[in-house]
Amino acid sequence: MGNGKSCDLHEDADGMSSGTSLREGTWQKIQLPVIPDRRGNLTAIEARQQVPFDIERVYYLYDVPGGSERGGHAHEALQQLVIAVSGSFDLHLDNGRDREVIHLARSFYGVLIGSRVWRTIDNFSSGSVCLVLASMPYAEDDYYRDYDKFMRVQNRG
């Protein structure tokens, strides 16, 4: 259901956003800040700055076998920021009305995912790492793991 707060969105020439806004059933591609340095670049992510929520959980997917799929669920309330910090993968998003596949391959781009968005991740490159920042701690009762049930809930709303 989201937290009811939003920030301004600012799209660059690539259609990526540098601000944030998140509503139920929505997602937004964002560009994270990069601090360039000859010794290596730095990207920092702060709660209520690059993400419109307090970060309550951080996890990452790695060593995903070729041909495997992750995700395959939606959340009732949880919001997330998904980033390919290494390698690449495809993020499939579906809110019951709109669908999009986003290829993530740069560590300074991410996708903010609002609540009630079905997500599946596949096409992992060798050595890829998928970092996820979440607005809530793990709670099994926040998950929709059955797509048909998720669609019934979406169609009622």
Q: What CATH number is given to the structural domain containing 74?
A: 2.60.120.10
Domain-located, residue 21: no
Domain-located, residue 132: yes
Q: Is the pLDDT of residue 120 over 50?
A: yes
Q: Which one from 73, 75, 92, 103 is the annotated catalytic residue?
A: 73
Residues 55-102 have pLDDT tens digits of: 999 999 999 999 999 999 999 999 999 999 999 999 999 999 999 999
Mean pLDDT of 39-51: 94
Q: Which domain holds residue 89?
A: 27-156
Mean pLDDT of 11-18: 42
CA angle 44/47/52 to nearest 5° reads: 120
CA 71/CA 111 separation, integer angstroms: 14
Which range is least confidently modeled, 7-16, 83-92, 130-139? 7-16
Confidence of residue 17 (pLDDT cuts 50, 70, 90): very low
Domain-located, residue 19: no
Average pLDDT, the chain: 88
pTM value > 0.75: yes
What are the Cα distances from residue 128, in Å, to 28, 90, 112? 22, 11, 19
Number of domains making up the chain: 1
Residue 73 annotated in active site: yes
- CA-based nearest residue to 75, from 46, 53, 102: 53
- CA-based nearest residue to 78, from 151, 146, 137: 137
Domain-located, residue 3: no
Greater confidence, 122 or 156? 122
Whether the CB-CB separation of 6 and 21 falls below 8 Å is answered with yes
pLDDT at 156: 84
CA 85/CA 70 separation, integer angstroms: 16
pLDDT at 87: 97
Determine what percent of the chain is predicted with pLDDT higher than 70: 86
